[in-house]
C-alpha cells in the first residue's frame, strides 16, 4: 500500500483529532504530512506564499463553517493537485472541482490511498 516515494501532503482540516488520524494514515501509506492549516485564510496564505512544500493537498470541505473552495481555486490556478474530504454529498462541490478526487468522511485508509494516488497521477 506504500507510495513508491514519500509524497508530501498539505492537510487543510479544522479538527485536530482528524488531523492526528490523517497523519497516522499518511505515515502508514509512506507519505509525510508537510504542513497543516486550520482555516481558509491560513490555507490560502500557505498556498499563495509557498510557505509549505507539498505534492498534494487534502482539503476538508467545511472549515469552521467556511467552504474550502477558494483554496481549491488557488491550488488549481497553480496546477497543484488536491483531494477534497467531505461529510456532505458530493453534489455540494462546485462543478469546477468535481474532477478532483473526493473522499467521504469518515474515510478509510484505502479510500485515502486511492484518492491521493489519483490526484498525484493527474498532476
Domain extents in the chain? 8-122
pLDDT in tens, 61-98: 999 999 999 999 999 999 999 999 998 888 899 999 99
pLDDT at 1 (0 to 100): 60
Of the candidate CATH numbers 3.40.50.2300, 1.20.210.10, 3.40.30.10, 1.25.40.80, the domain formed by 8-122 belongs to: 3.40.50.2300
Residues 24-53 have a mean pLDDT of: 95
Mean pLDDT score of the chain: 94
Q: Check whether 3 has a pLDDT greater than 80.
A: no
Q: Check whether 2 has a pLDDT greater than 80.
A: no
- 8-33 burial, b if ≥16 CB within 10 A, otherwise e? bbbbbbbeeeebebbbebbeebebbb
- What is the pLDDT confidence band of residue 53, given thresholds at 50, 70 and 90? very high
CA 35 from centre of chain = 11
pLDDT at 90 (0 to 100): 83
**pTM metric for this prediction:** 0.95
Alpha carbon distance 90, 18 (integer Å): 20
Please report which helix (H) or strand (E) contains residue 85, including its range. strand 82-86
Alpha carbon distance 105, 115 (integer Å): 13
pLDDT at 4 (0 to 100): 65
Amino acid at each position: 500500500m506504500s507510495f513508491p516515494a514519500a509524497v508530501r501532503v498539505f492537510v487543510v482540516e479544522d479538527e485536530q483529532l482528524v488531523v492526528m488520524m490523517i497523519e497516522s494514515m499518511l505515515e502508514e501509506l509512506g507519505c509525510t504530512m508537510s504542513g497543516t492549516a486550520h482555516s481558509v485564510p491560513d490555507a490560502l496564505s500557505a498556498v499563495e506564499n509557498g510557505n509549505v512544500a507539498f505534492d498534494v493537498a487534502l482539503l476538508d470541505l467545511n472549515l469552521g463553517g467556511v467552504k474550502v473552495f477558494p483554496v481549491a481555486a488557488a491550488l488549481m490556478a497553480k496546477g497543484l493537485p488536491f483531494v477534497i474530504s467531505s461529510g456532505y454529498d458530493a453534489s455540494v462541490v462546485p462543478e469546477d472541482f468535481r474532477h478532483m478526487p473526493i473522499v467521504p468522511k469518515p474515510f478509510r485508509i484505502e479510500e485515502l490511498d486511492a484518492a491521493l494516488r489519483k490526484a498525484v497521477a493527474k498532476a
